[in-house]
Structure 1
């Protein structure tokens, strides 16, 4: 599937880079566009190309896929660290990606959808509520409640130590020292890491061997995760259609927390429940069912 390397500037003048896909037979027609970015520390190469290629091969649809700021091929703001994840910044960058898409002559500016997975699955819930340019929202295995998820993942007797790490890092950064970092994953789930589940370790380390992914985020990224509540406005996504994809046995963005959030969304909405865990919809036997359901949702609500 041919793709175009693209870049665009955010509202605070950071260059983000990615790929643009469109059907070979699109010619000069204006077609809908789906904006796609990955989750916590992940890069566009980590299966987003598979989803974009699938959608574009089945639909009269373009896909704009990019790396989050400070990760992969994208820049970060001058004097700001790489490997730092601040949800409000990433949400703002999604909005700027929409603006870039609307500026292109080959996109129907009135038919823009957003797709996110895991952490960015939470971002699109927030953005779909507050940016009314968004016509459809696809949230795959989304993080919907940072506080509850943080305290589900972290043993209670470890929380005090993390609070001390957060405080020490704030003081160090205020004194001009380099930001503290934590691994994203660790083979020992009892050691400090951002995503302390065995399936997270398996997924990310497999990609670390075949991509530029780095097993590192700033300490501030983990503190920002705990305070993030992306489903706060989920009932305001309506009347834009919402598709939420939830894994049946998700221990990273727990299934029950996601289902509670979905219950608060208003119509029109659709729930897809996949067998397996958090990462099982990206590839393997679940991919066809997952991407196929998302394709039909896009066909009905964005590409009709």
Structure 2
């Protein structure tokens, strides 16, 4: 498997990742651009996706989001979804500059939070010729309402406002854990399967992952609405992979968003929960994504 470390400019920061060379390609080949979801780093199974796309004759560019992993950016551990969407576009620009890449055949893949990002990217950047959104976040507002008890939400608002004032005084950003063993304790992703997947994957594969995001990250999540772009993706082909028992980015929210998308589109329902797509359910999540890109980008 031919993989090389790469870095590229996102104008104000340097982003870093891996480029997987399409196997068997005799000339420029299509490329799939991939980044991870909420706080995750590329070592959290994106190497498996890059390898599988490359084995199918597709180049793959995997990169860490700004402020995370090997990529630069401050403040560390802060997720600005608008900046991450913009960085996908910087990654497309970089990938398109490579000799190995056919710049007329670019696909984007995202999962969970970045599954929402690729919906926005495909809607606004028509260099994208195919898109796969795996277990995507489609509405930050509705997602938070599904995860956070309604009597807790007012307290979050007060914390957001206090953090904004403290940052205005030059103080360090407030932070919260990404996950906690106690689903009732304060955390950004308060589900038991989130705690299990992040802690196990951190120990087994990704020592650089940190169980921390800025409080503003949660505020920006609550404001982010990829669903408002979904009707604009057409005529770019959209594949949405939705997990049947997804409690983190709820199944019914994703299917409802899919119904608002226009043709050409395809929905595949994966077995299991949100995180099964990466591990036990990988053999269900990878083949339809690979085949979608081969169908619409060629190989």
Gaps of 5+ in 2: none
Deviation of the 1:104 alpha carbon: 0.9
Dislocated runs of 4+, deviation >2 Å: 23-27
TM-score by length of 1: 0.96
Q: Residues 241-288 of structure 1: CA distance to partner in whole angstroms, max 9, x if unpaired?
A: 00000000100000000000000000100101011100011112x211
Deviation string 1:162-215 (CA, Å, 9 cap, x unpaired) is 111111100100000000000000011111100000000000011222321000
Matched, 1:43 2:41: yes
Q: Summarize the alignment of residues 1-304 of structure 1 with structure 2, pairs less than 5 Å apart.
A: 1-11=1-11, 13-27=12-26, 29-57=27-55, 59-76=56-73, 80-210=74-204, 211=206, 212-284=208-280, 286-303=281-298
Pairs aligned (count): 297
**1:92 & 1:45 partners in 2: Cα distance?**
22
Deviation of 1:106 (Å):
1.1
Cα pair 1:8 1:97 within 8 Å, conserved = yes
Contact 1:207/1:213, CA 8 A, preserved across alignment: no
Q: Alignment partner of 1:279: what SS?
A: helix
Q: Distance in 2 between matches of 1:243 and 1:4?
A: 28
- On the 8 A contact 2:23/2:58 being kept in 1, the answer is no
TM-superposed CA distance for 1:23, in Å, is: 2.9
Quick one: distance in 2 between partners of 1:24 and 1:130? Answer: 30
In 2, the alpha carbon distance for the partners of 1:69 and 1:289 equals 29
Structure 1: unaligned runs, 5 residues or longer? none
TM-score by length of 2: 0.97
- Tell me the distance in 1 between the aligned counterparts of 2:167 and 2:229: 32
C-alpha separation in 1, matches of 2:57 and 2:289:
14
Q: Tell me which moved more, 289-298 or 165-174.
A: 289-298
1:158 alignment partner, SS class: helix
Counterpart CA distance in 2 for 1:298 and 1:124 is 14
